[in-house]
Amino acid sequence: MNRKRICFLSRAPIPERLEDACDGGVVNMLRMVQACVTSGAEVHVYATTRPGDLPFVWQHSANKHVMRLSPAGSRLSNPFLRYLEDAQCFAHELIEQTDFTRVQYDAIHIHHWASCVEPLTSFLRKAPRTVFTPHLLAGEKAEMLSMNLPEAVRQEEAATCQAVSCIIALSMAEKKFICRHYNIHPQRVHLVPNGVDDVFFSTPVGLQANWASRCRDSQLLCVARIAEQKGLHFLPGVIGDVRTTHSACRLAVIGGAHGEMQYERKLDGEIASAGCRKQFEFLGVQPSASIARFAERAAVYVQPSLGETQCIAILEAMAAGLPVVATRIPCISEYFRSGINGYLVERGDRKAMASAITHLLSNPDECAAISIRNRNAARNFSWQTAKDNTLACLGLHGEEWKMAA
């Protein structure tokens, strides 16, 4: 039997090791690459280098080959147009300076919308099988943040959705958005949520987790990159309110910068205005094992996001047995029940979020009960299931997997 050849495309920098991945989209791609390699396929990965790395470097290992192109580094102020310009440079470099168009691939898997724009989109229409995992569409982000989406970006995104064989959505909310905004038939959009790393299931839960001590310590945890979408600017006011009854309360934020310097200044101003700089600790990007260790010491996980496509960070916190306070957005409500797994509050409602956190810190027995329920709920999200369904979409498991309509 001939070995199948699979290509992965990502305009984002992709680290060599899974533990160095900094967001759910990159983790997803690395896991799918490894799954294809394990299945016996020959895998080619085209991504970009990180700043300072050498471009155009092939890395060969067994049946995996990685080509890293130089990032464009657009300086446009509009974030959507900046991504579009970078995407156009990536597409031209891929076609003009690599062997991408001269290799016959059995399937091509595109990650993120900015990894596939013209002239690449026209080429993909001729490929035998193409799979698109957006992770977060530009249209979704614009709607979440009430931003104007440039027409050029909308057209590119729509063209990609129309050109590919199938689209992988991480949540039912994302599937509905894709079908509604880009006129895609529901049978072409497959629901394949991200899974949860096994390391998060190793922390103690229930009465063994010493909730009385943890609630007294009042350590909060949030895993999020420094970006407006994540809503971190609401947390200084929240922490200030919580400290009126729990003076020891402090917050650890795990995640790196996302190139939104104006937002970073806004967040810093909010922290200064709330007078809680000593209560904020920014720990940068951390591997899953380190996040699990932080979760073992925390009392409550907090997620103030303005929008998400799934939010794997909440599921990881649930797997680690943490009670969660998060914003009420559609994809989170698909797996999270307020009052059962923690509490959901409306976006931007600082008072409600502070009240929910204060309630949990004041009720360690409730936290102990929630921790057991959350771990059990998180077991429904398996990376093995995600890999099996994605490989089927790529044609590596016989007949293409089909989701019930």
pLDDT band at 75 (very low <50, low <70, confident <90, very high): confident
Burial class (CB in 10 A: 0-12, 13-18, 19+), 166: buried
Q: What is the DSSP letter of 226?
A: B
* Sheet-wide strand order for 189-191: 57-61, 64-69, 42-48, 5-13, 107-111, 130-133, 166-169, 189-191
Looking up tokens 């013209």 gives: 118
For 162, residues 6+ apart whose C-beta sits below 8 A from its C-beta are 182, 184
Domains and CATH numbers, the chain: 5-195+382-393 (3.40.50.2000), 198-378 (3.40.50.2000)
* Separation CA 200–CA 293 (nearest Å): 9
Taking residues 51-77, report their average pLDDT. 70
Taking residues 329-336, report their average pLDDT. 96
Q: At what angle do helices 288-297 and 312-319 cross, to 10 degrees?
A: 60
* Separation CA 204–CA 116 (nearest Å): 43
Taking residues 340-348, report their average pLDDT. 97
- Degrees, nearest 5: CA angle 62-65-66: 140
What's the pLDDT at 59? Answer: 63
Inform me whether the pLDDT recorded for 53 exceeds 70. Answer: no
Give the number of other CB atoms < 10 A from CB of residue 16.
11
Contact 157, 113 (CB under 8 A): yes
Token readout for 173 is 């909310």
Inform me whether the pLDDT recorded for 58 exceeds 70. Answer: no
Helix then strand count (H, E) for the chain reads 15, 14
Token readout for 136 is 């977060």
What's the pLDDT at 57? Answer: 56
In terms of Cα–Cα distance, which of 81, 85, 40 is closest to 63? 40
Taking residues 39-48, report their average pLDDT. 91
For 318, residues 6+ apart whose C-beta sits below 8 A from its C-beta are 301, 324, 336, 341, 374, 375, 377, 378
Read off the pLDDT of residues 131-170 as tens digits, 9 standing for 90 and up.
999 999 999 999 999 999 999 999 999 999 999 999 999 9
Taking residues 184-205, report their average pLDDT. 94
* Separation CA 155–CA 201 (nearest Å): 42
What's the pLDDT at 321? Answer: 96
**Cα-flanking dihedrals φ and ψ of residue 327, to 5°?**
-80, 150
Q: What is the DSSP letter of 134?
A: -
What's the pLDDT at 405? Answer: 30
In terms of Cα–Cα distance, which of 300, 294, 297, 304 is closest to 371? 300
Least reliable range by pLDDT among 83-87, 165-169, 270-274: 83-87
Give the number of other CB atoms < 10 A from CB of residue 389.
18
Q: Which residue has the higher pLDDT, 241 or 113?
A: 241
**What's the sign of the alpha-carbon dihedral 213, 217, 220, 221?**
negative
Q: Across the chain, what does the average pLDDT equal?
A: 91
* Separation CA 95–CA 189 (nearest Å): 27
Inform me whether the pLDDT recorded for 22 exceeds 90. Answer: no
Contact 339, 257 (CB under 8 A): no
**Cα-flanking dihedrals φ and ψ of residue 385, to 5°?**
-65, -45
Read off the pLDDT of residues 368-387 as tens digits, 9 standing for 90 and up.
999 999 999 999 999 999 99
* Separation CA 292–CA 286 (nearest Å): 10
**What's the sign of the alpha-carbon dihedral 12, 287, 31, 197?**
negative
* Distances, alpha carbon 138 to alpha carbons 83, 134, 145, in Å: 9, 9, 11
Least reliable range by pLDDT among 14-18, 30-34, 140-144, 167-171: 14-18
